[in-house]
Amino acid sequence: MILELDCGNSFIKWRVISPGGRERICAGIVDSDDGLFEALAGSGVKVQRCRLVSVRSDAETEQLVTRLKASLGVEVVCAQSSSQVGGVRNGYHDYQRLGLDRWLALLGGYHLGQRACLVVDLGTAVTADFVSADGEHLGGFICPGLPLMRDQLSTHTRRIRYDREVALAALQELEPGRSTAEAVERGCLLMLRGFVAEQLAQARSRFPGGFEVFLTGGDAELVRDAVPEAQVVPDLVFVGLAIACPLS
C-alpha cells in the first residue's frame, strides 16, 4: 500500500492507494500530525511506501517525515521544486518559490486535460494557475481563502462575531444577509466566486483555442456553480504527486 499526504497550512489530507495506484483504499483529513497517526492506526492498513507534498516549513516537514519513518518503517519521498516535469515548465522567475501544492495541482490538471488549463485550488489560501496547451506555466494568482477572510474580519472588528454553526447555515442561499453571519459568510463567498469568475474570463482571453478548468481544495464545492464547465477534482494534488514522485 502507498500512503500519500498533502500537508497544507491548516490540514493534512491523506489517502492510501493500492500498490499499483489504481485503487483508493481509504482517505481522510486531519488537523495535526497526531491526528494523522491516530487515523492511520485506526485504519489498520499496512503501508509499504509513502510520498508527500508539504507547504509547511522545512522544520515541520522534517519532523513529520522522521515520525513517519520511525512509526511506519518506510522510506518517505517528498515532492521537490523543479523547473520542468511531465511536459510542464514552471513559470516562476525563481521556480523554487512556487508553492509545491500549486505545482503538483497544475501538473495534475495538465496531465488530465491534455490541453491548456486553469487550475483553481480553494483552501486556506486560494490560488489560480494557468498552463498553456504546450505545457508552459504562465504564472498565477494567490488570494486569501474563505477561512482567512472570515477570520480577518472577526479579528479586526469589534462587532463581527457569530458561531460556526450559524455560519454553515448562512451559506444555504446568497440573498443579501439579514444577520451578521449571513452578511459576512455570503459576502466572502461572493468575493471567492468573483475571483473565480475573473480567472475564467482571463483564461478565455488567454486560451482562445479552448481550455479545461479544474477546481480542487476543501472549498471547491462552494464555487462550482459559478463555473459549470469546471471539473471538480478533490485529489488533483495527488494526481500531480504521482507524476512528480513516481515510485519505481
Ligand X SMILES: CC(C)(CO)[C@@H](O)C(=O)NCCC(=O)O
Ligand Y SMILES: Nc1ncnc2c1ncn2[C@@H]1O[C@H](COP(=O)(O)OP(=O)(O)OP(=O)(O)O)[C@@H](O)[C@H]1O
> Does residue 7 have a known ligand-binding role?
yes
Q: DSSP string covering 215-243, please? A: EESTTGGGTGGG-TTPEE-TTHHHHHHHH
- Identify which of residues 143 and 166 has a Cβ nearer to ligand X in the complex: 143
- Identify which of residues 84 and 172 has a Cβ nearer to ligand X in the complex: 84
- Identify which of residues 29 and 72 has a Cβ nearer to ligand Y in the complex: 29
Interface with ligand Y: number of residues (CB under 6 A): 15
Name residues contacting ligand X, limited to 50-79 (CB under 6 A).
Answer: 55
Residue 169, classed as helix, strand or coil, is: helix
Q: How far apart are CA 195 and CA 127, in angstroms?
A: 10
> Does residue 6 have a known ligand-binding role?
yes
Applying CB under 6 A, among 1, 9, 67, 224 the residue interacting with ligand X is 9
Our answer to whether residue 101 is catalytic in this structure is: yes
| Least Å from the CB of residue 133 to ligand Y | 27
Query: Can you read off the three cell numbers belonging to residue 214?
Result: 479544474
User: Does 91 sit near ligand X (CB under 6 A)?
Assistant: no
Alpha-helix runs per DSSP H in the chain: 33-43, 58-72, 100-113, 146-156, 164-170, 180-206, 236-244
Q: How far apart are CA 203 and CA 130, in angstroms?
A: 7
With CB under 5 to 8 Å by kind, the binding choice for 142 among K ion, ligand X, ligand Y, none is: ligand X
Q: How far apart are CA 152 and CA 144, in angstroms?
A: 10
> Does residue 100 have a known ligand-binding role?
yes
User: Does 13 sit near ligand X (CB under 6 A)?
Assistant: no
| Least Å from the CB of residue 217 to K ion | 5
> Does residue 216 have a known ligand-binding role?
no
**Residue 25's Cα: distance from chain center in Å?**
20
List 31, 58, 94, 101, catalytic entry: 101
User: Does 97 sit near ligand X (CB under 6 A)?
Assistant: yes
> Does residue 124 have a known ligand-binding role?
yes
State whether the Cα torsion 170-174-178-179 is positive or negative.
positive
Residues in the chain: 248
Q: How far apart are CA 123 and CA 220, in angstroms?
A: 8
Angle between helices 100-113 and 236-244 (to 10 degrees): 90
> Does residue 12 have a known ligand-binding role?
yes
Burial 186-208 (b: 16+ CB within 10 A, else e): bebbeebbebbeebbeebeeebe
Name residues contacting ligand X, limited to 101-160 (CB under 6 A).
Answer: 101-102, 123, 125, 127, 142
Q: Which residues are at the interface with ligand X (CB under 6 A)?
A: 8-9, 55, 97-99, 101-102, 123, 125, 127, 142
> Which residues are known to be catalytic?
101
Q: Give the residue ranges of the annotated binding site for K(+).
A: 121
Q: Which residues are at the interface with ligand Y (CB under 6 A)?
A: 8-11, 29, 55, 101, 123-125, 146-147, 217-219
